[in-house]
Amino acid sequence: MEAVSQQPTAVSFGYRFLGQLSYEEGLLEQQVAVREVQNGIDGVVLGLTHDPVITIGRNATRANLLADDQTLAARGIVLAESDRGGDITYHGPEQVLLYPIVRLAAVRRSVKGFVDSLQRAMVVYLASLGLTAVPRDDAPGVYVGGAKIGLLGLRVQDGIARHGLALNLGGALDAFSLMHPCGHAGQALTSVEALTGARPSHKEAAAAIADALFLELER
C-alpha cells in the first residue's frame, strides 16, 4: 500500500495506486475496497487509469452514443454498462481516475456534499498547476474557461460511495467526439497538457488529488 502524505486523522483511510486496468478489472478492485469498508475501514481511495472504454451510466440515453460497434472496435474502445449515476462518458490513458470507496457517514457527508468535496479536490489540484477551475451547478465536474477538464460519476449503496472522478491529463481527447459527453451535445473538453504544455504522470496526479481529497474530508 502506498502512503499518501495527508490523511484524515479522525477516520481510517487506505490508498492504492493500481496503474492501468481494464474497466472490468477496475470494478473488481472497487468490490475488494467495498468489502474492506464493510469490514470496518472508513474508506479506500484507488488511483488508476483505464484502457480505452466508453461507459454507459444508469441515467444514460443511448442516443448520446454517436458511434456504432464497428467504429468502436476499430478504435480499440470497449463499450461497458456501468451502475454509476450520470450519462455516457469516455475513460482512457488520457486521464487519471480516482475511485474513493468511502462510508459517507464516516466523513459526515451527504451525497451532494461528497460530490462537492470531489470537485474541490480537483480544483485544488489544478490550482497547484496554475489553472483556475470551477464546478457548475447544472453539470457535475470542473471546467476551465467553459471547457470540461474533470468528470464525476457516483453510485451510493448502503451508505458507501463507489466510482468517482476522472481528470483529463493530456493526449488526444477525440474519443469524446463519439458521443455527447455526459449527455451534453457540443461540450468542449480540455486537458492539463493542452492548458499548460506539460502532462503529469498518472501516479503523481492520483497521489496529489488524493491528498487534496483527504484534506477536504477533514473539514
**What is the CATH number for 185?**
3.30.930.10
pLDDT tens-place string over residues 99-152: 999 999 999 999 999 999 999 999 999 999 999 999 998 889 999 999 999 999
Q: Flag whether 154 is in a domain.
A: yes
Which member of 182, 189, 210, 217 is catalytic? 182
Q: What DSSP string describes 173-194?
A: -GGGGGB-GGG-TT--B--HHH
Helical H segments across the chain, by residue range:
23-38, 69-75, 111-128, 192-196, 202-218
How many Cα neighbours within 13 Å face the side chain of 198? 9
pTM of the full structure: 0.91
Q: Flag whether 2 is in a domain.
A: no
Q: Flag whether 176 is in a domain.
A: yes
Q: Is 182 a catalytic residue?
A: yes
pLDDT tens-place string over residues 22-49: 999 999 999 999 999 999 999 999 999 9
Three-state secondary structure call for residue 91: strand
In terms of residue numbers, what domain contains 119?
13-218
- Spacing of C-alpha 21 from chain mean position: 14
Which is nearest to 215 in space by CA: 3, 1, 4? 4
pLDDT at 83 over 70: yes
Report residue 149 as a C-alpha cell: 477538464
pLDDT tens-place string over residues 44-74: 999 999 999 999 888 777 788 888 999 999 9
Q: Flag whether 3 is in a domain.
A: no
Q: Flag whether 8 is in a domain.
A: no
